Amino acid sequence: MAKITFDGIEVEVEDGTTILQAARKIGGDVVPPAMCFYTPLKGSGGKCRVCLVKVTQGSARDPRPMPKLVASCITPVQDGMVVENTTNEDVLNARKGIVEMLLINHPLDCPVCDQAGECDLQNLSYEHGVSATRYEEPRRTFNKVDLGPYIQLHMTRCILCYRCVYTADQITNKRVHGVLGRGDAAEIGTYIENVIDNDFSGNVIDVCPVGALTDKTWRFKNRVWFTKPLNAHRDCPTCSGKVTLWSRGETVLRVTARKDEYAEVEEFICNTCRFDKKEMSDWTIEGPRNIDRGSVISANHYELPVVNVPIVPNLPKSTVKKMPTE
Amino acid sequence: MTLSERMYLPAIAQGLGITLKHFFKKKATINYPEETRQRSDVWRGLHVLKRDENGAERCTACGLCAVACPAEAITMTAGERKKGEEHLYREEKYAVTYEINMLRCIFCGLCEEACPKAAIFLQDDKLAPARYERDEFIYGKDRLVEPLKTTETK
């Protein structure tokens, strides 16, 4: 066991735990944000640098501070370590710089993006970023790519966190999805037209911290803050069947895996559950999902939209307002 | 009371005097709608969905106006822009339907403030006129979108 002091809070964790996991054991505001680290994925972390912290005392035996800020998601704790995150000015400034760098090539198309409202990068830049950009050069752009019939890749929005690549490597048993090119030219590819047809390929949507990988069955359907998240399950032969339904009225608009407070998937779900079971009758509803009060998703005080039918012909059925029957 | 006071003659004369005085005073009312008063520059009237300089609709149906609306007056459904519609809609997503219930709207202007695309504005020269039917107060895109300027009249 190792005892460390994180932002002045003492916590005892197992040897080999990372600083980030130790901070998550404390919980609350002191936890450093993470864009690339993902607990269920082996080998993830160390890429985005937003979880940088200052180690002011390396260990009880060697109390010298670490010379540079370290990525807390891949640095293991040592007994007697003293770490500063929110209490250190350097860390906060470095994080501000990292956010600015992540946003250099990220398009500001949040009004169009389906991830808006549950986007890690949006939250990160809201909490740690600056409101203006200093970048004047053109941002890199890519065309949209279809990864199979259900997943769409917007490479322009990608921050190269490699989460989806690790998912494709570890959850699926055939590698069809990786990063092509290097540096500025790096992009998520599927090895030329190799569509992802694995049963669990849809999970790359859930692990994506931004809107780079999105669900095509949910594309432009609605905004996440107008939908009602419900915990539900079904008897699924391939996965646990425990999901979150994003519904509006009686319509299931989207199915995702359940995510914890750090937006990490609790149990990966299969493509049948995610893309094909879009009826309320397919699911056993457990109840509404608890959403953080500060989240925009908790603003979903909405009913079915009132639609003036004669003005707009051929509307989808979901927009017809049902009058209460007596 | 004295006799003259009981006859109320001076009081009647005084009252008539006040009435007469009002004939020559400036009127407090105007003949609306033939005449309108000048409104403040920051007056918040009827909404308009603006087009950009090329005549394409600016609204991308992001839903921020609807979530900002305290009266829940705004509803919309989004659609994907098809090839060849670039001159109609500015972004790849657009509002297929966009409705504001003018009976619910309190003209607070929060939608205007929330809009990231500078698409919705509350005009300072138009009001939602009175009507007989409640349905007629649900303004769809046909009445909200700014008309295309086809001639150089403006």
Phi/psi at B59 (5° precision): -65, 135
Is residue B74 a contact partner of residue A223, using CB atoms and an 8 Å limit? Answer: no
| Residue B44: pLDDT over 60 | yes
Contact state of A226 with B63 under an 8 Å Cβ cutoff: yes
Q: pLDDT tens digits, residue range B81-91?
A: 998 898 899 99
Whether A37 is in a domain gets the answer yes
**Same domain, residue pair A210 and A229:** no
pLDDT at position A98 is: 93
CATH for A189: 3.30.70.20
**Same domain, residue pair A93 and A137:** no
**Same domain, residue pair A254 and A289:** yes
Q: At B138, is the pLDDT very low, low, confident or very high (cuts 50, 70, 90)? A: very high
Query: In this complex, which of B79, B116, B140 lies closest to A308 when CB atoms are compared?
Result: B140
Whether A90 is in a domain gets the answer yes
- Locus of tokens 């017809």: A320
Helices (H), chain A: 19-26, 89-102, 120-128, 163-170, 203-207, 271
Q: At B51, is the pLDDT very low, low, confident or very high (cuts 50, 70, 90)? A: very high
CATH for A87: 3.10.20.740
Task: Give the span between the Cα atoms of A191 and B85, in whole angstroms.
Answer: 32
**Same domain, residue pair A27 and A65:** yes
**Same domain, residue pair A256 and A235:** yes
**Same domain, residue pair A158 and A211:** yes
Whether A262 is in a domain gets the answer yes
Contact state of A306 with B61 under an 8 Å Cβ cutoff: no
- Which of A217, A241, A257 is a domain's end point? A217
- Residue type at position A167: T
**Same domain, residue pair A44 and A95:** yes
Cα-based distances in Å from B113 to A159, B68, B97 = 30, 9, 21
Q: Quick one: DSSP state of residue B47?
A: E
pLDDT at position A309 is: 47
Contact state of B77 with A223 under an 8 Å Cβ cutoff: no
Contact state of B141 with A312 under an 8 Å Cβ cutoff: yes
Is residue A81 a contact partner of residue A59, using CB atoms and an 8 Å limit? Answer: yes
CB of B85 within 8 Å of a chain A CB? The answer is: no
Q: Quick one: DSSP state of residue B5?
A: H
Whether A113 is in a domain gets the answer no
Task: Give the span between the Cα atoms of A282 and A233, in whole angstroms.
Answer: 9
- Which of A197, A217, A237 is a domain's end point? A217
* Residue A11 CA to its chain's centroid (Å): 27
Is residue A49 left, alpha or beta, with left meaning phi > 0 and alpha meaning psi from -120 to 50? left
ipTM: 0.76
**Same domain, residue pair A34 and A70:** yes
**Cis omega (within 30 of 0) for bond into A237:** no
Which residue of A lies nearest to B100 if distances are taken between CA atoms?
A306
* Residue A156 CA to its chain's centroid (Å): 17
**How would you list the strands of the sheet with B138-139, edge to edge?**
B74-80, B93-101, B138-139
User: What average pLDDT does the segment B37-64 reach?
Assistant: 91
**Same domain, residue pair A69 and A154:** no
Q: What pTM was estimated for this model as a whole?
A: 0.81
pLDDT at position B39 is: 87
Which residue of B lies nearest to A319 if distances are taken between CA atoms?
B77
pLDDT at position A303 is: 43
Task: Output Rg (C-alpha) for chain B, integer angstroms.
Answer: 25
Task: Give the span between the Cα atoms of A276 and A216, in whole angstroms.
Answer: 12
Cα-based distances in Å from A5 to A35, A77, A87, B29 = 24, 10, 12, 74
Task: Give the span between the Cα atoms of B96 and B79, in whole angstroms.
Answer: 6
Q: At a CB cut-off of 8 Å and minimum separation 6, what does A325 contact?
A: none
Is residue A283 a contact partner of residue A232, using CB atoms and an 8 Å limit? Answer: yes
- Give A-chain residues touching B93 at CB under 8 angstroms: 111-112, 220
Q: pLDDT truncated to tens, each residue of chain A (326 aa)? A: 899 999 999 999 999 999 999 999 998 889 999 999 999 998 899 999 999 999 999 999 999 999 999 999 999 999 999 999 999 999 999 999 999 999 998 998 899 999 998 999 999 998 888 888 888 888 888 888 888 888 888 989 999 998 988 888 887 666 667 788 887 788 887 654 565 677 888 888 999 999 999 999 999 998 998 888 889 999 999 899 899 999 988 889 999 999 988 889 999 999 999 999 999 999 998 888 888 777 888 776 544 444 444 555 666 666 665 655 54
Sign of CA dihedral A219, A222, A224, A228: negative
Q: How many domains would you assign to chain A?
A: 3
Q: At a CB cut-off of 8 Å and minimum separation 6, what does B84 contact?
A: none
Domains of chain B (ranges plus CATH)?
47-144 (3.30.70.3270)
Whether A114 is in a domain gets the answer no
- The residue range of the domain holding A24 is 2-101
pLDDT at position A311 is: 55
- Give B-chain residues touching A225 at CB under 8 angstroms: 63, 67
Is residue B47 a contact partner of residue B140, using CB atoms and an 8 Å limit? Answer: no
**Same domain, residue pair A206 and A263:** no
User: What average pLDDT does the segment B26-52 reach?
Assistant: 90
Task: Give the span between the Cα atoms of B50 and B58, in whole angstroms.
Answer: 6
**Same domain, residue pair A197 and A228:** no
Whether A307 is in a domain gets the answer no
Whether A317 is in a domain gets the answer no
Q: Quick one: DSSP state of residue A109?
A: -
A-to-B residue pairs, Cβ atoms closer than 8 angstroms: 67
- Which of A195, A217, A239 is a domain's end point? A217
Question: What percent helix, strand, coil does chain A show, rounded to 5?
Answer: 25, 20, 55
**Same domain, residue pair A97 and A76:** yes
* Residues in B 107-146 with any Cβ partner in A closer than 8 A: 116-117, 135, 138, 140-142
Q: Structure tokens of A108? A: 């500001």
Whether A34 is in a domain gets the answer yes
